[in-house]
Structure 1
Amino acid sequence: MRLRYGMNPHQTPATWEPVEAGTAPLRVISGLPSYVNLLDAIGGWQLVHEAALAFDRPAAASFKHVSPAGAAVAGPIDPAMAAAYRLSPSGVGALTGAYARARDADPKSSYGDFVAVSHPVDLELADFLRGVVSDGIIAPGFEPGVVAALAAKKSGRFLILEANPSFTPPPVEVREVYGLRLTQPVDAGLPALSGDLLLGAVITRYTQSNSVVYVRDGMALGVGAGQQSRIDCTALAGAKVDTWWLRRHPSVPTPSPDRLHDRVNAQLAAAAAVPDPASWLARLDGVAFVSDGALPFADNVAEARRHGVSSIAEPGGSTRSAEIAAECRRRGVELIQTGRRLFRH
């Protein structure tokens, strides 16, 4: 089947086909996908499907460039989210709420995202998506009237994909790169974690390495992806956490522009100008932190603690794992060394 183009627009023709004839993880309902659209859709669907099964709640992810900008399970909509997205905190459906929570982790990066949700799209979510800038969606189904409402986005170019929840992937992954064929077993199973640490592990599994994720109350607050240095990754994601928390400062006014991205930008500008930000940032606590690879130095613990982290899950097994454990004890941070790496490339 034809793709709009490959990784880049000049890479044509490009195609896709199921590995096994008659069995595919998704089907195209509307639009023409590109190579990256499919990578985002596949990664996003696996993340939300896995999270929904783990938590028995609807889950959503906002994907950009093959990594989640944010991900969340259904939960409460706080006043800052309600103001940015013009939602009623007490009257939002679970699926719409899950996506609003996912997009709110890093709304600037989610501009033009690919949406993934774990449950069939209802009219409420479709109406919400009509007001956001995104490229497409993958879901396991669509209620009556939803496809027609979404297909009109982007002058008919909005991509709508239907996931197959019963699809089981082949046990071996195959990738051909520069004349080489690479094979490996599918990465299945998760570390023995619970709560926000478990959600963080699900998110890191589908984030380009090196990756770390900060999670609180069932939603990502900051995702660091694709960094060669883990401390840079920890600091980058931590800066997103700070921005998320500063948007909740009492001095940040309710944004008034009509368009969503203008309201978000107004909120971000106000957050950057809050008085005495250090004292407000010091009030954030109860954040979980998950690293896809072993923390190589104790500076990662110190940096994570600066952003409200009270629990850390990482594989352990590095030459300095004892130092990591000692630093966590010194700073009052719970540490779980899982023995399982979650690299994704």
Structure 2
Amino acid sequence: MTELELKYGCNPNQKPARIFMEQGELPLAVLNGRPGYINFMDALNSWQLVKALKKATGLPAAASFKHVSPAGAALGLPLSDVERQIYLAPEGDLSPIACAYVRARGADRLCSFGDWAALSDVCDADTARVLAEEVSDGVIAPGYTDEALAILKTKRKGGYNVIQIDPNYTPAPIERRNIFGITFEQGYNDLAITEDMLTNIVTENKTLSQQAKNDMMLALITLKYTQSNSVCYVKNGQTIGVGAGQQSRIHCTRLAGDKADIWWLRQHPKVLGLQFVDGIRRPNRDNAIDLYISEEHDDVLAEGVWQTTFKVKPDVLTQEEKKAWIAQLSGVTVGSDAFFPFGDNVERARKSGVDYIVQPGGSIRDDLVIETANKYNMVMAFTGIRLFHH
């Protein structure tokens, strides 16, 4: 048996703590830092997500995890000029895996504060430099270049957590966990998400581009590793809103949709034109933007507050302007880890530019849900597969 002793469990009072395997060697190595219990939970869940994304799409993938759910996940596609600005990306060309992480973190920068990063490919110097600039707890990848590892070892006064995992590792077919001293056992969820799951299109509109298929697979794979109930909005190869751990599906849909709206509002000309004071820290900038586009914008613009953030007092982004801007969002995919029980989920998704839906189906009100999707000329695929994760 091999094991790795941990400082403590989920909380400091939960001791002793360790990770171990009863048979064989641990398929990972700590190259720097001292990862904790929650770090490893994020690392192993996020690694499964990016590995599955790479297998399904053939593209490099990255994820930004917090408390065992993704704040964002993305494919390694090039960054537009606007994306570079709103994601605070460095200038110059970036490698595909660096682009993947920039997009994954940019999906929800507030929730990604202090994240765990996962990379499907070897971490290169580009990605390490991006990580060095962000508030992050650690990273897991199948390997690191010498230059990347040297950069990461300077982060957090040398204490940044760096884990290398064996990309060929396959877990045992049966997994176990203990809750309240009682052992649970189930088969490992090795379900592969593929395009074959997207063939049962139940709406009148049945046109699916390859991009839409990739976005559907991205949504499903993200949901597979998100605490249930969960709903995920995706656009152009990245999540733009994840709603996790809600007891009601409509609340998942609203939460994720609100995050998608914020992602889109960050691209509003007034937001892009904000002039920040020199030397402002990234988290402070993210918080200021979030307040500026929220109902609490008056707090940012109040006398004595805006002067510490902005060079010039910004104009108010009115409710009318926000509504008009969100109305321009389109081409979004929404996925759900279980069926939509009512058409209200489709109605809410439509408000955030959704044109594509992927969900298991199986509700007694499927006809109503399909009818609502047809009303907006959406494309909806039923997978027949539930993706609960607890």
Structures share a fold, TM > 0.5?
yes
Q: Which amino acid aligns with 1:6?
A: G
| Residue 255 (structure 1) shift | 5.2
Q: Which amino acid aligns with 1:213?
A: C
| Residue 186 (structure 1) shift | 1.3
**What are the residue-to-residue correspondences of 1:59-70 with 2, within 5 Å?**
59-70=61-72
1:232 aligns with 2:251: yes
* Residue in structure 2 matching 1:267, options 289, 298, 306: 289
**What are the residue-to-residue correspondences of 1:66-215 with 2, within 5 Å?**
66-87=68-89, 91-188=93-190, 189-190=192-193, 192-193=197-198, 194-215=213-234
Larger mean CA deviation between 308-317 and 149-158 belongs to 149-158
1:27-68 deviation digits (Å, cap 9, x = unpaired): 211122211111100011011111112111111100000000
| Residue 89 (structure 1) shift | 6.9
Larger mean CA deviation between 120-129 and 284-293 belongs to 120-129
Matched residue SS, 1:311: strand
Residue 266 (structure 2) aligns with: 247
Q: TM-score when scaled to structure 1? A: 0.95
Report if the CA contact (8 A) 2:87-2:106 is conserved.
no
1:68-88 deviation digits (Å, cap 9, x = unpaired): 000000113233432244436
1:331 aligns with 2:334: no
Report if the CA contact (8 A) 1:78-1:89 is conserved.
no
1:198-223 deviation digits (Å, cap 9, x = unpaired): 11001000000000100000000000
Q: Which amino acid aligns with 1:238?
A: G
Report if the CA contact (8 A) 1:60-1:118 is conserved.
yes
| Structure 1 residues 297 and 19: alpha-carbon distance in aligned structure 2, compared to 1, 3 A threshold | farther
Structure 1 segments of 4+ aligned residues over 6 angstroms from their partners: none
| Residue 92 (structure 1) shift | 2.0
| Residue 129 (structure 1) shift | 1.1
Percentage of identical aligned residues: 42
Residue 303 (structure 2) aligns with: none
Report if the CA contact (8 A) 1:77-1:89 is conserved.
no
| Residue 90 (structure 1) shift | 6.1
Matched residue SS, 1:102: helix
Report if the CA contact (8 A) 1:120-1:142 is conserved.
yes
Q: Which runs of 5+ in 2 are unaligned?
A: 199-212, 295-315
User: 2: distance between equivalents of 1:90 and 1:289?
Assistant: 32
| Residue 268 (structure 1) shift | 2.8
| Structure 1 residues 76 and 268: alpha-carbon distance in aligned structure 2, compared to 1, 3 A threshold | farther
Residue 216 (structure 1) aligns with: 235
Residue 14 (structure 1) aligns with: 17
Matched residue SS, 1:68: strand
1:250-278 deviation digits (Å, cap 9, x = unpaired): 12215545322233234334434424111
User: 2: distance between equivalents of 1:277 and 1:323?
Assistant: 30
Task: Note the aligned Cα RMSD (angstroms).
Answer: 1.6
Report if the CA contact (8 A) 1:249-1:271 is conserved.
no
User: 2: distance between equivalents of 1:250 and 1:71?
Assistant: 25
Residue 5 (structure 1) aligns with: 8
User: 2: distance between equivalents of 1:291 and 1:38?
Assistant: 26
Matched residue SS, 1:145: helix
| Structure 1 residues 171 and 109: alpha-carbon distance in aligned structure 2, compared to 1, 3 A threshold | same
| Residue 19 (structure 1) shift | 4.0
Q: Which amino acid aligns with 2:187?
A: P
User: 2: distance between equivalents of 1:255 and 1:218?
Assistant: 29
User: 2: distance between equivalents of 1:94 and 1:301?
Assistant: 33
Matched residue SS, 1:130: helix
Report if the CA contact (8 A) 1:314-1:337 is conserved.
yes
| Structure 1 residues 312 and 89: alpha-carbon distance in aligned structure 2, compared to 1, 3 A threshold | farther
Report if the CA contact (8 A) 1:246-1:271 is conserved.
yes
1:156-202 deviation digits (Å, cap 9, x = unpaired): 22111001100011111111111221111111222613310011001
User: 2: distance between equivalents of 1:266 and 1:81?
Assistant: 18
Report if the CA contact (8 A) 2:86-2:266 is conserved.
no
Q: Which runs of 5+ in 1 are unaligned?
A: none
Report if the CA contact (8 A) 2:98-2:126 is conserved.
yes
User: 2: distance between equivalents of 1:265 and 1:255?
Assistant: 14
Matched residue SS, 1:136: strand
Q: Which amino acid aligns with 1:222?
A: G
User: 2: distance between equivalents of 1:291 and 1:89?
Assistant: 36
Q: Which amino acid aligns with 1:264?
A: D
Matched residue SS, 1:147: helix
* Residue in structure 2 matching 1:285, options 326, 330, 335: 330
